[in-house]
């Protein structure tokens, strides 16, 4: 890494899960669009061929119209090779295959448990965590050995336990996790500003929010636009659209649009508790007692969101594979597109090229005093030269603390269980999950079945 | 108050709710049995006649066989009169009548919500709290004015929010709350010692326990008899009796025996989480999600406990009224009986006559670091001359923290709502209660109905 | 206050101590240089004439070359008049006259106690606090009554106790305190970068620092320029210049230049503890045991800084009065000059016009976990629309915690003593101050003498 | 270990430092006097001959008049042998010889630094800590390996850092440290009760105290006898005897009587801060700035205590050696004598034979919220079956927090430095010690000299 005036050259990024047909392309696009940084990107993936395809695609981004920097992409056969000498590490892996995801999401349905996503919490999220955490441990050990000073950016779900596992394994790791769910709520507030205050042309950065909670279950305790408190504005929106949901002009970003909701869950949570939940409804619903939004598929539809079946994800992947083929072959032209993600801006800030305040998943050093110290929480942080410093988000408000604290407890327990490869301890978390409305015997049966279904990835337990 | 060697004379006790036909008599008996203390007891009750009857009964206790001290009982027409100059204040009131209790317990049944007690948490407990807290505020103001240095012992339910309200109103109050539920679990452990280790003739004091949690939802994190760890012993008992419950040789203390259970809930909670829940099953069940133990009256029976109907309480009162009449008239002879309660021993310790370590409800000054500071919690404390000092109970174990922390949040919210006479805030607690498995609209309807039913006592809201 | 696109008009600023011949002019200059804000400034001062003079001067700033906005200045006869309707309140008062300052600084010398400044800590700072805090209480009550939503910016010393007193009086006040001492250390680090790394043309904002401590006794726990850790760079500077001090190219800003030092104290503290003290040496010395730097005037000179006599301050005021006269009469032309202060940038951020991360004095909500919660500490904060959010500065490092924590204790005690108008309690802080190396009897004599000397301002005690 | 009714047989105690001619004999006497426990005591000492002598003496205690139990004493050649299978481990070692102690206490005098004890804090205490901590680490490793469930009772000074080192090395160790200094202050309060209230025949247990602080620098925040607050009583004593000290009827216990003071320091600290310091004046003085009580030997005499020269300790040892010889040979008859120590009572409580509340040195789990978590502090704890549970001592009062917190910081730093064998880090603590009123250069010279003098025991650094 070399500074030339206010440019940085020879940056090395290691991308773990570098065969990705989604996040990886977004990052490639954002990197190519960055003026003042350049270097190389090592792509590591257990599917080496996928990484090789992405080398081809990645290198084409440097030629795309509007590209301002050229990055050198290459694939590596080992994790160590990718990590050695890296200044930044990006983690975006898929823990397991659709077979495991199928079990995570759909096996609980036999017991009357419905999950809209199944990757963060709920029975599916817990089992997924059990297979993800050992992978994170391996990556953290690699970082410790090969690039202990690198900054590590995680995009993998389940986000919270993944980041926590990195820190548990290598306590000095400089890691954080990124997620764009809060952005969607800021967008909703911009919409409300337009609709109820007639203020147009605002940007996300104009919506000053204070974020508390954990990934996918974040809450805003303050939302301000210039001198306008956005809580009463949002309340108007929530009351007017309580029964119908709000459907106008939804974001069409490809990463979101199969995952739409009409925000009824968000409105309901606001009327229940007085705070703005700041993730998509599909995620929010999974953190609440199963009686609230996920009782039956019919109820789910009434609440204006969908249960994403794994079959959909399989189809979606097929489309993305096809897209990859076309991009490699040149049938499809590579074009830069703004992803709205902040990864590259965060990298630039860590290099000391600017300062940035944004929400991020990071260890609780006290910024949320009534969540456990050492847990991973999501809140704002200041990104600056070689530092990510959380801002004092403050206590999770009493009204919603029980909901949020519960999940933090679950996650702490799951990480401990996974690190100890202890299924009994994992079951203690599972049986207390708010979607698992089963007696102890049935809960155990479901747990055992889900573990059995995914045993390929749970051999160490 | 006057010390004569190691005796204390002229102690003044104010008994608020002094017309009680239960607790009051127990205290009278224990006071008469105490050798080294004597004085007077002012009985105050909104039912003045009941207090007068208890004056007659109380004074008879001094003549009972085995009585070792004579206390002078008298009734007062005002709270102030009772409190003025008191060294100790006992609070044991009934917040409202059976009419209100009827609504607390049975109105939610229309919405499919069953409560086994309905006085601590759940919809009934929350509404009961709303009418109790203003009464506690009035008493606290009286203490501040008339006897700010007195020690205040509360027996009223809901215990936690009652004690909290005392402190919120008069922060320098020296108050704590007593409950015998943990004693029952110690008794169960004695039973297990006998059955599985063949050790007989133990006393409750031999069972060294560490208590965490809140009243009626306490947990043991350690239970030791001499060099024997009682957790594996209890585990044997739990596994052997999981499906049938344990029914041998139950305690026949009149205050408990209509309220029996077979401890299946306790066994189930132990198998779920690995810790010993330390209250009666009827109470424990109410703090858990409604899906676990209180789904339907049938499920409740399967779990081996009963839903206590208010009609039963009405009958029970009739019996106690009759007993009162006979005691006043002399038809029934007054006899001392060991209550097993610790109130008098606590009073003696506060007077500096001995030291005592026991569990008590008291403000969290940090003794349970992962429950809110300032919340009222139940754990061990050292009673000594003019001091009740909590022992460091330690964190609520992660496995059960979500369950316990949730109720602490609810209670903090309810106290705040009640003190501000703010029904909206109270509803935020209500709608998040784990027994209230309703959508927002229905929850609101139920809440409004219960408030309406008990409005006589909620005029200030 | 009115938003017109990205400009804000009709802002009202209340300036308490508006007759100031220093800070006030700096603010006037910075306000005139701001493009996107304008409005009016109410000047309130117990010296009404001084405020009137500043009205004349203030209004001339709008005509100065380079002025980009015009502010309307006016004097008010009462505090309330100034505060009513204010959006921002600036506090920059002098608590007492030179007579009191004379006693603060020089009376302790009779007991062998030397102070380089005497306005923050030490016997002088404590006595000064006793007369300042009641003034702050009055202002806070005014804010509560007249403009409870206004942002309050304090420049008055003693800074920490002043801000704390504002919060103690009106807990919902939105107040913070500004001080430029850290800037000087950032400048020193820029100098070190130039000298030891050959890197020129850096700006203060390029020096990314983490600040912990309390005003005038702040410490850097991290200092980074792009990818360069500045601790080893500073260590070189400290070792090379340990005996001589560093004197090249000092800042000539009028507010500092009579107050120079050669940074030997800073170097010594670095070698002792391994952290960079981030205020001027004159301030730093006063927080350390009297044996270290302030033993005698000779020792002080050896350490490369001066004892600022009050006579100097009297002369300096005379010069500033003359300057005021000339500015009012027009003999001296008003010119804009960059003050380097951040007040106006902070105001713009609070209005939502940009974001700013800078160090500020603010209540410890947990951002410095090993300093008392609720104490006022100095660290970085994010300024954004209607919010100042501290960043997690983290623990004060163990090596220096004893030094810093001690002063936080002293300040907490002094504020409590002052609010209770309790001289006995104030003495408990005084007798434990590290400069007061006296036995209890002599310490009491000195304390009584200093109180007597300043009794005009201590009538309420 | 075997329970027979309420007796425990076959207890194994390991005594590390078992050649002691002081503490060991006291423990032997107390063990012999205990009715309900018996077993064996393994004596391990680097001076094997001394341990052998103590075997002879120890076994004679069983024959002494009034002995109620017989313990089997034997010497071991290795630490492991002593520890294997132990139920209790007593640590009472001397870290180094009089040569090292000579340097600890007297080398600083060359720099004008006087120490009254020199074993706990001050330059001597810090250097002594550096050689003690590695020994404690060795013992802790032995416990982990040979008897991980044993209770470990430390009597070695420096107490705080010794206990901390045990926990740092083996976090699950069940260790605490005992010291009788608080007892002396309770005795002084009994004296005050007699003198000012005419109350005689009280026992130490009657004086209900709340203890905060660290070993040898403990403070009482509450002292109560029945209904009498002892603070005003002590204030009378302090004021009346401020200039003369209090000298009537001092305790003649052999372990104390060469170490007398007239309590002037205690009185002065009370008048300064309003709290009762609860250790001997010789210890208290060493924790305060050197200007207060230890400026010169003359000042020390004025303050009514003595500087204990190492020559005295050498003479004293000679006397004890002679006493040992006589006891071994039978020239001196073994007699039981009440030591006033609580070790045996603590052992009985840990065995579940009774409950005990007393002050003890133990890890801060939050019982003193404003001292560092994890530091070793001294306060009350409940001793019961297999548990030592601290009581919530509460915050160190603000008035004295700076003094106490400082030493906690020093101790934390010293332990870290010693464990890392890092003299640079140790110096950071040394240079900030309140007795070390030297510039950095001289402090370094003194430090280096003291390290050099004691290098035999600092080889690992």
Residues D209-243: tens digit of each pLDDT: 999 999 999 999 999 999 999 999 999 999 999 99
Give Cα separations from C430 to B110, C132, C213, C440, C442 (angstroms).
67, 16, 20, 10, 12
Yes or no, beta carbons of B272 and A440 under 8 Å apart: yes
Q: Is the pLDDT of residue C258 over 60?
A: no
Interface size, chain A vs chain C, as Cβ–Cβ contacts under 8 Å: 101
Cα Rg of chain A, angstroms: 21
Which residues of chain B are within 8 Å of residue D365 when distances are taken between CB atoms? Answer: 369, 392, 394
Query: In percent, how much of chain C has pLDDT > 70?
Result: 98
Residues in chain C: 461
B187 contact partners, CB below 8 Å, separation of at least 6: B204, B251
CB < 8 Å to C416, chain D: 398
- Whether residue C229 has pLDDT greater than 60: yes
The full set of domain ranges for chain B reads 2-97+116-178, 98-115+179-308+342-461
Sign for the pseudo-dihedral over CA of D45, D49, D55, D57? negative
Q: Identify the closest residue of chain D to C436 by CA–CA distance.
A: D291
pLDDT of residue D200: 94
Give the angle A87-A88-A90 at the CA atoms, nearest 5°: 160
C in contact with B (at least 3 C-beta pairs within 8 A): no
Q: Is B432 helix (H, G, I), strand (E, B) or coil?
A: coil
Q: What is the pLDDT of residue A49?
A: 97
Q: Do A268 and B440 touch (CB under 8 A)?
A: yes
Q: Do domains B2-97+116-178 and B98-115+179-308+342-461 have the same CATH topology?
A: yes
* pLDDT at A254 > cutoff 90: no
Neighbours of A125 (CB within 10 A): 29
Asked if D29 contacts D62 with a C-beta cutoff of 8 angstroms, the reply is no
D382's CB contacts (< 8 A; 6+ apart) are B357, B380, B382, B391, D355, D356, D357, D388, D389, D391
Beta pairing class for C2-4 and C7-16: antiparallel
Least confident of A423-432, C228-237, C264-273, D253-262: D253-262
Q: Which 3 state secondary structure label does DSSP give D298?
A: helix
Which helix (H) or strand (E) element contains residue D192? helix D181-197
Averaged over A32-52, what is the pLDDT? 97
* Per-residue pLDDT reduced to its tens digit, D254-293: 334 556 789 999 999 999 999 999 999 999 999 999 999 9
Domain B2-97+116-178 sits in CATH 3.40.50.300:
no
More confident residue, B257 or B171: B171
Alpha-carbon distance A450 to B458, whole Å?
A: 50
Q: Which residue among D366, D382, D389 places its CB closest to the CB of B369?
A: D366
Cα distances from C253 to residues C180, C260, C322, D156, D194, in angstroms, run 11, 11, 19, 58, 68
Separation between Cα atoms, residue C356 and residue C370, nearest integer Å: 26
**If phi over 0 gives left and psi between -120 and 50 gives alpha, with beta otherwise, what is residue A366?**
left
Write out the DSSP string of C58-83. Answer: HHHHTTSTT----EEEEEESSHHHHH
Q: Which residues make beta-bridge pairs with D91?
A: D16, D154
CA distance D438 to D113: 9
Neighbours of A5 (CB within 10 A): 7
Cα distances (angstroms) measured from residue D184 to each of A205, D189, D206, D261: 65, 9, 14, 11
Tell me which fold the domain C2-180+323-337 belongs to. Answer: LDH C-terminal domain-like (3.90.1820)
Burial B251-289 (b: 16+ CB within 10 A, else e): eebeebeebbbbbbbbbbbbbbbebbbbbbbbbbbbbbb
Topology of domain A2-180+323-335 in CATH is LDH C-terminal domain-like (3.90.1820)
| Topology of the domain comprising D2-179 | LDH C-terminal domain-like (3.90.1820)
Least confident of B295-309, C246-260, D31-45: C246-260
Given the residues C180, C216, C283, C401, select the one marked as catalytic.
C180
Rounded Cα distance between A274 and C319, Å, is 58
Tell me if A323 sits within 8 A of A332, measured CB to CB.
yes
Other C-beta atoms lying within 10 Å of the C-beta of residue D318: 10
In 3D space, the residue among D417, D459, D440 whose CA is nearest the CA of residue D126 turns out to be D417
D36 three-state secondary structure? coil
The helix/strand/coil state of D288 is coil
Q: What's the CA gap between C453 and C444, in Å, rounded?
A: 14
A382 contacts on C by Cβ (under 8 Å): 357, 380, 382, 391
Q: Cα(B397)–Cα(B370) distance, rounded to whole angstroms?
A: 9
Q: Mean per-residue pLDDT for D22-46? A: 96
**D401 is annotated as an active-site residue:** no
How many B×D Cβ pairs under 8 Å? Answer: 101
Q: Do C206 and A352 touch (CB under 8 A)?
A: yes
DSSP B391: B
If pLDDT is split at 50, 70 and 90, which confidence band does A264 have? very high
DSSP per-residue string spanning A259-276: G-B-SHHHHHHHHHHSSE
What is the model's pLDDT at position C22?
87
d(CA A146, CA A149): 9
Superfamily of structural domain C181-307+342-461: AglA-like glucosidase (3.90.1820.10)
Does A370 sit within 8 Å of B428, measured CB to CB?
Answer: no
CB B27 within 8 A of CB B50: no
Average pLDDT over residues A74-98: 97
Strands (E) across B165-252 are located at 174-177, 208-214, 217-225, 228-229
D43 alpha carbon, distance to own chain's centre? 20
Closest CA to D43 of D63, D64, D23, D67: D23
Decide if domain A181-308+342-461 falls under CATH 3.90.1820.10: yes
- So what's the pLDDT on residue A343? 95
Residue C381: closest C-alpha in chain A: A391
pLDDT at B263 over 70: yes
Q: What is the DSSP letter of B297?
A: H
What pLDDT does A340 receive?
85
* Chains B+D touching (3+ CB pairs under 8 Å): yes
**DSSP codes joined into one string, C107-161:** GGGGGT---SS-SSSHHHHHHHHHHHHHHHHHHHHHHHHH-TT-EEEE-PSSHHH
Instruction: Compare CB distances from D227 to B3, B367, B381 and report the shortest one's residue.
Output: B3
B413/A434 CB distance under 8 A: no
Mean pLDDT across the stretch D1-9? 94
Over 70: is that where the pLDDT of B254 sits?
no
A neighbours by CB contacts (3+ pairs under 8 Å): B, C
How far does A357 lie from chain C, in Å, by closest CA?
8
How many other β-carbons are positioned within 10 Å of the β-carbon of residue A80?
15
Rounded distance between C-alpha atoms, residue D41 and residue D71, angstroms? 7
C interface residues, D as partner, C-beta within 8 Å: 268, 271-274, 289-292, 370, 372, 398-399, 401-403, 405-406, 409-410, 412-413, 416, 428-429, 431-432, 434, 437-440
d(CA B169, CA B136): 8
**pLDDT over 90 (residue D360):** yes
- Mean pLDDT estimate for chain D: 95
Q: Is residue A294 within 8 Å of A435, Cβ to Cβ? A: yes
Superfamily covering domain B98-115+179-308+342-461: AglA-like glucosidase (3.90.1820.10)
Q: Which residue, among C178, C137, C153, has the nearest Cα to C15 in the 3D structure?
A: C153
Residue whose C-alpha is closest to residue A382's, from A355, A403, A353: A355
Percent of chain C with pLDDT over 90: 93
Does A394 sit within 8 Å of C392, measured CB to CB?
no
Rounded Cα distance, A411 and A162, in Å: 10
- Chains near B, with 3+ CB pairs < 8 A? A, D
Query: Residue A46: which region, alpha, beta or left (left: phi > 0; alpha: psi -120 to 50)?
Result: alpha
Is B354 strand, coil or helix?
Answer: coil
Residue C257 — φ and ψ, nearest 5°? -70, -15
Query: Nearest Cβ partner of D428 from C274, C290, C439?
Result: C274
**Structure tokens, D160:** 């705080």
The pTM assigned to this predicted structure is 0.96
Q: How far is B82 from chain D (nearest CA, A)?
A: 22
Per-residue pLDDT tens over the stretch D66-89: 999 999 999 999 999 999 999 999
- Give which of A6, A28, A4, A96 is closest to A343, Cα–Cα: A28
Q: Residue D180 and residue D216: Cα distance in Å, rounded?
A: 9
Burial of C332 (0-12, 13-18, 19+ CB in 10 A): middle
Lowest mean pLDDT among A413-427, C254-268, D119-133, D368-382: C254-268
Please identify every residue of B annotated as catalytic: 180
pLDDT at residue C248 in the model: 74
How many angstroms separate the CA of residue A398 from the nearest CA in chain B?
6
């Amino acid at each position: 890494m070399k500074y030339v005036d206010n440019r940085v050259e020879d940056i090395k990024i290691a991308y773990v899960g570098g065969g990705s047909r989604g996040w990886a392309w977004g990052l490639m696009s954002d990197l190519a669009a960055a003026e003042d940084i350049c270097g190389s990107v090592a792509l590591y993936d257990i599917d080496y061929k996928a990484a090789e395809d992405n080398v081809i695609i990645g290198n084409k981004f440097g030629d795309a119209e509007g590209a301002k920097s050229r990055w050198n992409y290459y694939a590596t056969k080992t994790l160590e090779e990718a990590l050695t000498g890296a200044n930044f590490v990006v983690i975006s892996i898929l823990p397991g295959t659709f077979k495991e995801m199928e079990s995570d999401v759909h096996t609980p349905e036999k017991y009357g448990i419905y999950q809209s996503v199944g990757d963060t919490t709920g029975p599916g999220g817990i089992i997924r965590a059990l297979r993800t955490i050992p992978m994170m441990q391996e990556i953290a050990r690699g970082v410790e050995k090969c690039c202990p000073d690198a900054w590590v950016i995680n995009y993998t779900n389940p986000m919270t336990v993944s980041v926590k596992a990195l820190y548990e394994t290598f306590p000095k790791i400089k890691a954080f996790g990124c997620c764009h769910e809060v952005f969607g709520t800021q967008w909703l507030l911009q919409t409300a500003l337009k609709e109820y205050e007639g203020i147009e042309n605002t940007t996300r950065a104009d919506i000053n929010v204070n974020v508390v909670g954990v990934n996918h279950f974040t809450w805003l305790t303050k939302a301000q636009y210039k001198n306008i408190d956005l809580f009463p504005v949002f309340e108007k929106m929530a009351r007017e659209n309580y029964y119908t949901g709000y459907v106008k002009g939804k974001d069409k970003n490809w990463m979101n649009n199969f995952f739409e909701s009409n925000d009824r869950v968000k409105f309901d949570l606001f009327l229940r508790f007085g705070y703005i939940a700041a993730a998509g409804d599909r995620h929010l619903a999974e953190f609440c007692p199963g009686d609230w939004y996920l009782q039956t598929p019919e109820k789910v539809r009434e609440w204006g969101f969908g249960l994403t079946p794994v079959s959909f994800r399989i189809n979606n992947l097929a489309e993305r594979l096809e897209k990859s083929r076309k991009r490699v072959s040149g049938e499809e032209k590579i074009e830069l597109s703004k992803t709205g993600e902040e990864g590259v801006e965060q990298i630039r800030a860590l290099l000391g090229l600017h300062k940035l305040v944004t929400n991020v998943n990071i260890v609780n050093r006290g910024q949320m005093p009534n969540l456990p110290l050492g847990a991973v929480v999501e809140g704002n942080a200041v990104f600056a030269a070689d530092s990510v410093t959380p801002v004092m988000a403050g206590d999770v408000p009493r009204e919603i603390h029980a909901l949020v604290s519960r999940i933090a407890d679950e996650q702490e327990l799951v990480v401990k269980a996974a690190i100890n490869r202890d299924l009994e301890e994992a079951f203690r978390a599972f049986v207390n999950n708010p979607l698992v409305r089963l007696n102890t015997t049935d809960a155990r049966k479901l747990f055992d079945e889900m573990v059995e279904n995914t045993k390929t990835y749970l051999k160490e337990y």
